[in-house]
Amino acid sequence: MPLDTLKENIQTLANSLSERYGASVKWQTEQTLEVKAPAITGSLSYDDSALNIQVSFGFMSKFLMPKIKAEITDYLKKNIS
């Protein structure tokens, strides 16, 4: 997948998470996106060979972990190959 298409897909995923969970989304570098919501922080970064996703949940938001993980996994399966 071309990197510009990958970046568009990452932005779409981040926008969805932003709408659902009230997260703010900001590109820190050309290839690293930061996502912040109350008690949840994360980043999505990519290069030629890998997509890295890191999400940290605060104590009060751990109940959201399975739902957010499933949403990210489903999106990646459908849109990024």
Q: What is the dihedral of CA 17, 18, 23, 28, to 10 degrees?
A: 90
Residue 66 domain-assigned (yes or no): yes
11-48 residue pLDDT tens: 998 898 888 888 899 999 999 999 998 888 999 999 88
Cα 55 from Cα 61, distance rounded (Å): 11
Cα 69 from Cα 58, distance rounded (Å): 15
Residue 48 domain-assigned (yes or no): yes
pLDDT of residue 22: 87
Give the CATH number, domain containing residue 29.
3.30.310
> Is 16 in contact with 75 (CB distance < 8 Å)?
yes
Residue 51 domain-assigned (yes or no): yes
Verdict on whether the full-model pTM lies above 0.95: no
pLDDT of residue 45: 92
Q: How many domains does the chain have?
A: 1
Range of the domain at 57: 3-74
Residue 80 domain-assigned (yes or no): no
